[in-house]
Amino acid sequence: MLAESETYETVEGNIYFPIDSINLQYFKETETHTTCGWKGLASYYTVVVDGKENVDAAWYYLKPESKAENIKNHVAFWNDVEVIK
């Protein structure tokens, strides 16, 4: 399991898990960054499971803008990563 938590934040349909709920053994930092006008600068992880890489499949905002403070220290997923509530 990549992450598990009873608490999370939902923003724009994406579920953000607290950073301390992810299993870091599956995550590898990447050089990818994108910018959201109201959330700020996003950084990415490649998810690696059983030797298979899902490039930039997780992202987080290290220093989100004030309107997105609720997702500070949280990680979200996409790109065929199944999230179950």
The pLDDT profile of the chain, 85 residues, written as one tens digit per residue, is 899 999 999 999 999 999 999 999 999 999 999 999 999 999 999 999 999 999 999 999 999 999 999 999 999 998 778 787 6
Architecture of the structural domain at 9-77: Beta Complex (2.170)
Distance between CA atoms of residues 35 and 43, nearest Å = 9
CB atoms within 10 A of CB 35: 8
Distance between CA atoms of residues 54 and 2, nearest Å = 12
pTM here is 0.91
Task: Name residue 17's beta-bridge partners.
Answer: 75
Domain ranges of the chain: 9-77
